[in-house]
Amino acid sequence: MFFFQGLTMGLAYVAPIGMQNLFVIHSALSHSLRRAVATAFIVLFFDISLSLSCFYGIGTLLNHLPWLKVVILGTGTLLILYMAYDMISQVPDALTLKDQPVSLGQTVSKACIVTWMNPQAILDGTMLLGAFRITLPATEAMTFLTGVLMASGLWFLSLTGCVAAFRHAITPGILRAINILCGTVLMLYGLHLGYTFVQLF
């Protein structure tokens, strides 16, 4: 149950079209499959490092600052519901990503930037994973996190393969459908967090 919860949460969090996904899509559209897969693994590395930091960093603070639990649950509920609304209402533009291939070093640096130099990603990750860590039994935290990390790997590698294989068939409508699905899942999780927040009082 907790693994599946982490898997679905991870997919809903990572799948919407954002900086990381556009970077992976760009690579799959403009590079060989081998290079695109390498790029996906590089992005995955930085994404996992961010997820681990968000998940365990906020947990350490919560052990020393119990009142922070209320703040995170309340803020996290509002943020997740806003993210869900934003995803559902967002209409992606056509894929017009055209650029020259870059070196492996440039790929690593850009992957780091779109992950770690993106304040919104850090904020969302901290609130999302940190808030859900509060609701998990201590013995199931690793099971949930494994699901989240597995979701990242499945998504980035699948995204790369699908874009490379069907690069001429991907339309804004497909991207729109992905955002609606993921936004709906996040909406349900946001409501769950809100229920947990209300229970504290």
* Spans of all domains in the chain: 2-199
E strand intervals along 12-126: none
- Give the pLDDT of the chain (201 residues) as one tens digit per residue: 889 888 988 888 888 767 788 888 878 877 888 889 999 999 999 999 989 888 887 666 666 777 877 887 788 788 778 878 877 887 665 544 444 556 888 889 888 888 887 666 777 787 778 777 777 887 888 899 999 999 999 999 999 999 888 877 777 777 778 778 878 877 887 888 888 888 877
d(CA 169, CA 163): 9
pTM of the predicted protein model: 0.73
Return the ∠ at Cα 129 (arms to 125 and 133), rounded to 5°. Answer: 160
- CA 137 vs. chain centroid, Å, equals 22
What pLDDT, on a 0 to 100 scale, did the predictor assign at position 159? 93
Residue type, 123: L
